[in-house]
A and B are shown apart, each in its own frame.
Chain A
């Protein structure tokens, strides 16, 4: 993976400043919320952004890193255009989540938490997406704020543009992934 190279690319720091200042008179209790917004913005947490947060908030960088590494939602490396979350919660587990995960690993040639060579997909596992009744479940979502993902009209599409798939059958997975690869533009 090319994560080193990407990390060295210049990161635009302006959005970081904007996000931090949008919290007004920032307090340390906003740290997690700020990091969540940064991750939405960049798709991951670039080191330069974290340093800036530490400086602006006057919080030691070690503490910022402590938070980032504690919570599984945060990532220090860039993610693919789409993130595949395979549920490995109990209900999905007894209905074959492991096979689903293995199939995706083989198809994309990645390990868990890794990103495919073309930066299209990142594979993650999550414990329970709350759709247990339909296990095994996987959710494919765009990592970055994808424009046009929410039609917003009747407000029924999840804000993140995630799409969930229930009763996933291993034979169907390749087709699902292809449907994303084809809208590469």
Chain B
């Protein structure tokens, strides 16, 4: 492959790829997301491949595999182009039927169609499935469209045109301003304005700076970042390149948790491909800007998602947090200014550059712009990966996109924000999803884990579960978190086992307060949230347990 050495080169290259990829062929798309793979997507892919070969259709039918298409619960998913027929729960044994009947004769296989839960009618096209109707896909726009390991398809779909635009037409300050104007806020949890963070790093005078992509995704019950990294790694890479250009960094790291071997593999492939094309390395597209990227694997510690711990871990140390300030933007990796952003934050960047801050800020609410990807899981009918505009309500997400509670049970609570988040009861389901509204009801946006609970879930048990998690993952450096989480866990277990008394609840509140205010990092500061929110909204469940104990 020839290296691209100018911005013109990439334009020419894209046109050539588009011509090459323009196809009259029928295309069979198999979802290669982890969910569909677990349900046998790989075997299905192999069978389809074999049938296509056996029938001598290699020249007429194109088979491809993409990243997660979202509706994991109903996997494996298959889409056919150009007819746009959408099949779900496709067993391997259907490979022949799909090729012979649907591809060959254009017949729709009724059994494989999605059934609308409300109307009981069969739905033929993906966009008509209620799960997809309410979504607005920006970050995930190419998931399910391009092959997950192909830089060619990414480029043909317009990929790396944002990089070309910033290198050709924009000064670093302009890039920073564009991101600030877009209103983008960090998707890793805290919601810090991304443009402002970049500006801090940009304004430091060090000659060495770093960018880091936070792909630790430790929040149990979340798989957004994984799906983006696996489904469309180049979009994150491009975001990182633009970040590096804007802040003046020439070196960057992907920190990805070891539990995600596929994500690591696809990102590594993407880095290698970009290098080969000359999109990484020195003098990118002949514009004098250079960048090298490398992956560091996490080693199974939740606290390493916290930025200062993550930095310690990349430095090869125990991943323990330190006090801030100084913030990493001033003194980060090896004491140098470091910009650390979440996967989804970075995946938004190319779109903002391409379509402009105005476009981006027209989506969402006053204080929260753009879209948010959620991992919808738990006791909801349609679990999976979704992307909605900020301001969508929890009710819309759970009942319209998610199709309501599974097995005809009653909704009890939505846990949003993971171990740092809170449980939202029925009466707040109409709260719009934005950073401030969620905070006001005792939850947080968090990274995007959304776990639905039904009437069978005990809220005291859930509080205990999260506290157990935080206690386990507390790094032990600061006493309020180390001791606070342990003591709270003891109290919660006591209450849960029916041995608690009223004072225990009061004690819990006091401990929660101390742990919140005195802990060193976000882990301890937010660990009490699930306890406080369950006490606030489900005090009756705590009280019921007290009664049985006495």
Residues of A in contact with B (beta carbons under 8 Å apart): 27-33, 35-36, 66-67, 70-74, 88-91, 93-95, 126-135, 137, 154-160, 162, 164-166
Q: Are A166 and B314 in contact (CB under 8 A)?
A: no
Q: Are A127 and B469 in contact (CB under 8 A)?
A: yes
Q: Are B38 and A29 in contact (CB under 8 A)?
A: no
Q: Are A128 and B221 in contact (CB under 8 A)?
A: yes
**7 sample A-B contacts, Cβ–Cβ < 8 Å, listed by A number:** A30-B316, A90-B220, A94-B457, A133-B377, A133-B385, A134-B38, A154-B45
- B153: min CB distance to chain A, Å: 15
**Docked CA distance A73–B375 (Å):** 25
Residue of B at shortest CB range from A164?
Answer: B38
Q: Are A135 and B261 in contact (CB under 8 A)?
A: no
With A71-B301, A134-B35 known as contacts, the answer to whether A157 contacts B42 (CB < 8 A) is yes
Q: Are A29 and B315 in contact (CB under 8 A)?
A: yes
Q: Are A134 and B262 in contact (CB under 8 A)?
A: no
Asked if B94 is at the interface (CB within 8 A of a chain A CB), the reply is: no
**Docked CA distance A159–B260 (Å):** 10
With A94-B379, A130-B259, A134-B73 known as contacts, the answer to whether A67 contacts B318 (CB < 8 A) is yes
Q: Could you give, for residues 239-273 of chain B, a 1 whenever the CB lies within 8 Å of some chain A CB and a 0 otherwise?
A: 00000000000000000001111100100000000
Asked if B149 is at the interface (CB within 8 A of a chain A CB), the reply is: yes
Partner of A132 from the list B222, B316, B320, B469 (CB cut-off 8 Å) is B222
Asked if B296 is at the interface (CB within 8 A of a chain A CB), the reply is: yes
Asked if B302 is at the interface (CB within 8 A of a chain A CB), the reply is: yes
**Docked CA distance A137–B259 (Å):** 13
**Docked CA distance A91–B451 (Å):** 6
Residues of B within 8 A of A94 (CB): 378-379, 451, 453, 457, 462
Interface residues in B22-48 by Cβ distance below 8 A to A read 32, 34-35, 37-39, 42, 45-46
Q: Are A72 and B300 in contact (CB under 8 A)?
A: yes
Q: Are A90 and B299 in contact (CB under 8 A)?
A: no
- B447: min CB distance to chain A, Å: 11
**Docked CA distance A99–B451 (Å):** 19
Q: Are A130 and B301 in contact (CB under 8 A)?
A: no
- A101: min CB distance to chain B, Å: 13
- A29: min CB distance to chain B, Å: 4
User: Total A-B residue pairs with C-beta atoms closer than 8 Å?
Assistant: 154
Residues of A within 8 A of B451 (CB): 90-91, 94, 132
Interface residues on B, range: 35 or more
**Docked CA distance A126–B301 (Å):** 10
- B378: min CB distance to chain A, Å: 5
- A82: min CB distance to chain B, Å: 16
Asked if B371 is at the interface (CB within 8 A of a chain A CB), the reply is: no
Residues of B within 8 A of A159 (CB): 261, 265
Q: Are B72 and A134 in contact (CB under 8 A)?
A: yes
Partner of B299 from the list A73, A130, A135 (CB cut-off 8 Å) is A73
**Docked CA distance A149–B49 (Å):** 21
**Docked CA distance A27–B296 (Å):** 14
Residues of B within 8 A of A158 (CB): 261-262, 265
Partner of B317 from the list A67, A130, A156 (CB cut-off 8 Å) is A67
With A133-B72, A155-B149 known as contacts, the answer to whether A127 contacts B378 (CB < 8 A) is no
Q: Could you give, for residues 430-466 of chain B, a 1 whenever the CB lies within 8 Å of some chain A CB and a 0 otherwise?
A: 0000000000000000000101010001000010011
With A94-B379, A156-B45 known as contacts, the answer to whether A89 contacts B220 (CB < 8 A) is yes
Asked if B217 is at the interface (CB within 8 A of a chain A CB), the reply is: yes
**Docked CA distance A150–B300 (Å):** 23
With A71-B319, A73-B258, A94-B457 known as contacts, the answer to whether A128 contacts B45 (CB < 8 A) is no
**Docked CA distance A4–B35 (Å):** 40
Asked if B226 is at the interface (CB within 8 A of a chain A CB), the reply is: yes
Q: Are A95 and B219 in contact (CB under 8 A)?
A: no
Q: Are B313 and A32 in contact (CB under 8 A)?
A: yes
Residue of B at shortest CB range from A85?
Answer: B259
Residues of B within 8 A of A164 (CB): 34, 37-38
- A53: min CB distance to chain B, Å: 12
Residue of B at shortest CB range from A157?
Answer: B42
Residue of B at shortest CB range from A89?
Answer: B220
- B47: min CB distance to chain A, Å: 13
Residue of B at shortest CB range from A72?
Answer: B300
Partner of B259 from the list A31, A88, A95, A126 (CB cut-off 8 Å) is A126
**Docked CA distance A160–B39 (Å):** 18
Asked if B154 is at the interface (CB within 8 A of a chain A CB), the reply is: no
Residue among B258, B259, B475 facing the most chain A CB atoms (10 A cut-off): B259
With A131-B35, A131-B223 known as contacts, the answer to whether A72 contacts B465 (CB < 8 A) is no
**Docked CA distance A35–B298 (Å):** 12
Residues of B within 8 A of A89 (CB): 220-221
Given contacts A29-B316, A159-B261, A159-B265, 20 further A-B contacts (CB under 8 A): A29-B315, A32-B296, A70-B301, A70-B320, A71-B301, A90-B415, A91-B449, A126-B259, A128-B259, A129-B259, A131-B35, A132-B375, A132-B377, A133-B72, A133-B384, A134-B38, A134-B72, A154-B65, A156-B42, A162-B261
**Docked CA distance A36–B300 (Å):** 11
Asked if B297 is at the interface (CB within 8 A of a chain A CB), the reply is: yes
Residues of A within 8 A of B260 (CB): 130
Residue of B at shortest CB range from A93?
Answer: B465
Asked if B172 is at the interface (CB within 8 A of a chain A CB), the reply is: no
Asked if B418 is at the interface (CB within 8 A of a chain A CB), the reply is: yes
**Docked CA distance A73–B296 (Å):** 14
Partner of B39 from the list A27, A71, A129, A134 (CB cut-off 8 Å) is A134
**Docked CA distance A70–B302 (Å):** 11
